[in-house]
């Protein structure tokens, strides 16, 4: 089979490797569509972010079949002990298994075929496209975040940042019973998409104070739940801690701030605001089988729409480096979801 192996930072090569064989409890899939995550893109470029030590350790042993944990495929072979899947099943993944993560602790899916644990896969209905199925794994973070938020019917929800994660949180929160939903960003075209996906109000933070706007919309009370998806290292084009501070200011007393953005190993919370107003900073729930199936059901039922977020699909395994390059500059290319690669039809 053809597969991409990483030889070093910013150095990946398309090579011919032996076809994988399923071990007990595993299956082999034919990869149909795969996309690089933002984290994978940063890691490939050598940035400090999650799993960097894992990548460094892998590369120290030689070229490695790294990355590719957001994918859709078709089961072609099952290993001993697998009775939940069969050849021909279309599947997507939650990526994280008992022994590690696809593309980090065992070979990833920038390849024509891949062997993966059966228990990290879930079948998808025929009417869900391969592109949608490949984008389900990052959607699980939004679903886990909404689950952790414990949204009650009619609560006001604000989403800071309208990238793939923000738009997914927005839709999932509405499906969970949110009342007024407010989308904040600095790009008009993504605010247009947010409105089309159900945002009741949008705020362009380029020319409007988002804290003052949320306070006005809520009669001074503030939002019950704020999803913070825009923060992170400024050198990676993110908002630093500014949006985290804004989230604290626009939340109501006893409000919940859901930490979707990745801040690396540490960040600074606006302690006084959290302490004196009893704010809670909540991380997404740990994903289990029920939440994974719920994620697929949200897409299959149309309550969460992924196709408007998928703005670039490249044909052919040889275009994987192009997908990394496009994803690394998503804002410049006006991408929402990472660029996808269709490996096989």
Write out pLDDT tens, residues 172-214: 999 999 999 999 999 999 999 999 999 999 999 999 999 999 9
Query: Within its chain, how far is the Cα of 55 from the centroid?
Result: 20
Write out pLDDT tens, residues 167-179: 999 999 999 999 9
Bridge partners, residue 70, by sequence? 35
Write out pLDDT tens, residues 73-87: 999 999 999 999 999
Bridge partners, residue 184, by sequence? 160, 203
| 157, 198 contact by CB (below 8 A) | no
Write out pLDDT tens, residues 149-170: 999 999 999 999 999 999 999 9
Report the predicted TM-score, pTM, of the whole model to 2 decimal places: 0.94
Determine the topology of domain 140-282 in CATH: Rossmann fold (3.40.50)
- 178: nearest Cα among 192, 204, 158, 195: 158
Q: Quickly state the pLDDT bin for 232 (edges 50, 70, 90).
A: confident
Numbered ranges of CATH 3.40.50.720 in the chain: 140-282
Measured between alpha carbons, how far is 49 from 238 in angstroms, rounded to an integer? 13
Whole-number percent of the chain with pLDDT over 70: 99
- Determine whether domain 2-135+310-342 maps to CATH 3.90.180.10: yes
Measured between alpha carbons, how far is 249 from 286 in angstroms, rounded to an integer? 27
């Amino acid at each position: 089979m053809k597969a991409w192996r990483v030889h070093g930072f910013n150095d990946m090569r398309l090579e011919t490797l032996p076809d994988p064989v399923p071990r007990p409890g595993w299956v082999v899939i034919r990869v149909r569509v795969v996309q690089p995550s933002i984290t994978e893109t940063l890691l490939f470029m050598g940035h400090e972010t999650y799993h960097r030590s894992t990548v460094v350790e892998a590369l120290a042993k030689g070229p490695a079949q790294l990355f590719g944990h957001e994918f859709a495929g078709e089961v072609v072979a099952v290993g001993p002990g697998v009775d939940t899947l069969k050849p021909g099943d279309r599947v997507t993944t939650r990526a994280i298994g008992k022994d590690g993560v696809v593309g980090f602790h065992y070979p990833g899916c920038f390849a024509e075929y891949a062997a993966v644990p059966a228990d990290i896969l879930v079948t998808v209905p025929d009417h869900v496209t391969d592109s949608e199925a490949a984008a389900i794994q990052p959607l699980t973070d939004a679903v886990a975040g909404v689950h952790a938020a414990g949204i009650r019917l009619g609560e006001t929800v604000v989403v800071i940042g309208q990238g793939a994660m923000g738009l997914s949180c927005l839709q999932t929160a509405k499906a969970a019973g949110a009342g007024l939903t407010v989308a904040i960003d600095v790009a008009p075209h993504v605010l247009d998409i947010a409105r089309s996906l159900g945002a009741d109000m949008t705020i362009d933070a380029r020319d409007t104070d988002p804290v003052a706007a949320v306070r006005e919309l809520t009669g001074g009370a503030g939002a019950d739940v704020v999803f913070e998806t825009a923060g992170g290292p400024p050198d990676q084009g993110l908002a630093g801690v500014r949006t985290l501070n804004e989230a604290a200011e626009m939340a109501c007393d006893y409000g919940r701030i859901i930490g979707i953005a990745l801040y690396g190993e540490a960040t600074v919370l606006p302690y006084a605001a959290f302490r004196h107003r009893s704010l809670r900073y909540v991380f997404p729930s740990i994903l289990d089988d029920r939440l994974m199936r719920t994620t697929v059901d949200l897409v299959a039922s149309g309550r969460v729409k992924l196709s408007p977020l998928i703005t670039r699909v490249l044909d052919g395994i040889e275009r994987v480096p192009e997908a990394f390059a496009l994803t690394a500059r998503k804002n410049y290319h006006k991408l929402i979801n990472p660029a996808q690669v269709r490996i096989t039809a």
